[in-house]
């Protein structure tokens, strides 16, 4: 199945629809203007929409969604901005927080058990310790990464200190 995004005058995606691959193949193939025009003849654009553009994770940066933006100069879709403080990365393809994502994602002071075959990988072999994970989220209000750690019936909250790469209790 192929996905097509309708964009408005500001190149913002207003909606995304799914189209049969056979339709795309019969009308010029992936990423073709012919397929976009054929779709326009089949499915009417709303008054605020200007065109259909095919979207995929395989091309045009990322799969478009409502609120994302089409950059015609780069022929990519840029995801919707999640937080007002975030800025476009150097490549202009995605949004980044003003503070780098934490490099520590597990609380190694608490061992939950040992890895079995299902959870093992090349960096974490069978029998290696499984640590308590940080459930990480961005706090726009505080302009920082925050996390919760769960154990037994309690929750501990932390904030990331990028200057020394540690989690500090809130």
Q: What is the pLDDT of residues 62-102, one digit of tens each?
A: 899 999 999 999 999 999 999 999 999 999 999 999 999 99
Number of residues that this document lists for the chain: 170
Return d(Cα 27, Cα 29) in angstroms, integer. 6
In which element (H, E) is residue 33 found?
helix 33-42
Q: Nearest Cα to 56, choosing from 76, 34, 72, 85?
A: 76
pLDDT in tens, 111-170: 888 989 998 899 889 999 989 899 999 999 999 999 999 977 889 999 999 999 999 999
**Residue 124 confidence (pLDDT):** 86
Return d(Cα 126, Cα 32) in angstroms, integer. 48
**Residue 146 confidence (pLDDT):** 98
> What pLDDT band is residue 109 in, cutting at 50, 70 and 90?
confident
> What pLDDT band is residue 110 in, cutting at 50, 70 and 90?
confident
- Calculated CA dihedral for residues 108, 113, 115, 117, nearest 10 degrees: -160
The ranges assigned to domains in the chain are 2-96, 106-169
Which is higher by pLDDT, 62 or 53?
Answer: 53
Which is higher by pLDDT, 61 or 159?
Answer: 159
In which element (H, E) is residue 25 found?
helix 21-26
Return d(Cα 16, Cα 1) in angstroms, integer. 12
**Residue 23 confidence (pLDDT):** 97
């Amino acid at each position: 199945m192929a996905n097509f995004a309708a964009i408005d005058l500001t190149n913002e995606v207003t909606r995304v629809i799914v189209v049969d691959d056979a339709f795309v193949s019969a009308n010029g193939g992936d990423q073709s203007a012919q397929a976009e025009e054929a779709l326009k003849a089949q499915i009417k654009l709303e008054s605020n929409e200007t065109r259909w553009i095919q979207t995929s994770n395989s091309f045009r940066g990322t799969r478009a969604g409502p609120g994302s933006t089409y950059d015609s100069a780069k022929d990519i879709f840029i995801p919707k901005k999640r937080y007002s403080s975030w800025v476009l990365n150097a490549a202009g393809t995605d949004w980044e927080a003003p503070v780098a994502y934490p490099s520590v994602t597990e609380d190694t002071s608490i061992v939950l058990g040992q890895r079995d075959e299902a959870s093992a990988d090349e960096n974490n072999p069978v029998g290696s310790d499984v640590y308590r994970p940080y459930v990480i989220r961005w706090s726009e209000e505080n302009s920082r990464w925050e996390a919760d750690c769960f154990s037994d019936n309690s929750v501990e909250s932390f904030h990331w200190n990028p200057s020394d790469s540690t989690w500090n209790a809130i």
